[in-house]
């Protein structure tokens, strides 16, 4: 069986770095589906479309040309031929993406693109609803999580604001709000698939969590990987 792995989890759980490392070690492609939702938010911002304007958002989603490919360190995304990869992690996009990913038409279009990507049968796909909605038949599903305060500190390290107590507390609040909205939306909420393996990485090192997933893959897909036991 070819290795096709769904990795879900809340913001700041280390999904992206972990998924990328797992994919690199297995020699399969990696897709960060959050980047696609962010690309829609980026476009809405550029065009001045309010995320609450559902009709406007549906039209935008139907009309834009979205291309993506695997980059050295992240999923690269193009909107109507323009590369937007470097512009997807701004505060504005992060704020706009939450209401946008609740819109049914947006999810429908992106889920279709994601399934097409996975149709070759191998790869590591990371997001919020991969194991539950996008690839319900994925042979290996992982739900990665960590305590909220640990996730907030990790995000602040990414942003270089770990010494700023006020910024850290604001970030923790925003993360909690994003978790709440991601988990409570009616359309494809963040939740673990019943057959997902849950890995709480609060007390795990990066290498430990990557190795844990690789061990699962070795076992599930009958692989041989140097230095990894099932």
Residues that bind ligand DC (CB under 6 A): 11, 33-34, 37-38, 97-98, 101, 127-129, 178, 182
d(CA 203, CA 145): 11
**Burial of 128: CB neighbours in 10 Å, binned 0-12, 13-18, 19+:** buried
Cβ distance to ligand DC smaller for residue 25 or 128: 128
Cβ distance to ligand DC smaller for residue 6 or 26: 6
What letter would DSSP give residue 141? E
Joined tokens for residue 41: 């938010």
Q: Taking the complex as a whole, how short is the minimal distance between the CB of residue 225 and ligand DC, in angstroms?
A: 27
**Burial of 43: CB neighbours in 10 Å, binned 0-12, 13-18, 19+:** buried
Q: Quote the crossing angle between the two packed helices 91-100 and 33-47, to the nearest 10°.
A: 100
Q: Taking the complex as a whole, how short is the minimal distance between the CB of residue 180 and ligand DC, in angstroms?
A: 11
Gap between the terminal Cα atoms of the chain? 16
Q: Taking the complex as a whole, how short is the minimal distance between the CB of residue 218 and ligand DC, in angstroms?
A: 26
Cβ distance to ligand DC smaller for residue 191 or 220: 191
Cβ distance to ligand DC smaller for residue 45 or 228: 45
Q: Taking the complex as a whole, how short is the minimal distance between the CB of residue 109 and ligand DC, in angstroms?
A: 13
């Amino acid at each position: 069986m070819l290795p096709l792995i769904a990795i879900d989890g809340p913001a700041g759980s280390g999904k992206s770095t972990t998924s990328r490392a797992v994919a690199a070690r297995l020699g399969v492609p990696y897709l960060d589906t959050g980047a696609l939702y962010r690309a829609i938010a980026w476009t809405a911002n550029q065009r001045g479309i309010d995320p609450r304007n559902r009709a406007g958002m549906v039209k935008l989603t139907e009309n834009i040309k979205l291309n993506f490919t695997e980059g050295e360190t992240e999923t690269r995304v193009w909107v109507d031929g323009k590369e937007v990869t470097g512009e997807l992690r701004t505060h504005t996009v992060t704020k706009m993406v939450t209401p946008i990913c609740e819109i049914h038409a947006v999810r429908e279009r992106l889920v279709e693109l994601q399934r097409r990507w996975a149709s070759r049968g191998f790869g590591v796909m990371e997001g919020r609803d991969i194991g539950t909605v996008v690839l319900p038949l994925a042979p290996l599903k992982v739900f990665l999580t960590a305590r909220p305060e640990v996730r907030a500190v990790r995000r602040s390290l990414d942003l270089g604001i770990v010494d700023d107590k006020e910024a850290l507390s604001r970030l923790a609040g925003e993360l909690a709000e994003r978790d709440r909205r991601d988990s409570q939306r009616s359309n494809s909420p963040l939740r673990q698939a019943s057959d997902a393996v849950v890995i709480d990485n609060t007390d795990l090192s990066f290498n430990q969590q990557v190795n844990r997933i690789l061990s699962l893959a070795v076992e599930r897909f009958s692989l041989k990987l140097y230095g990894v036991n099932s």
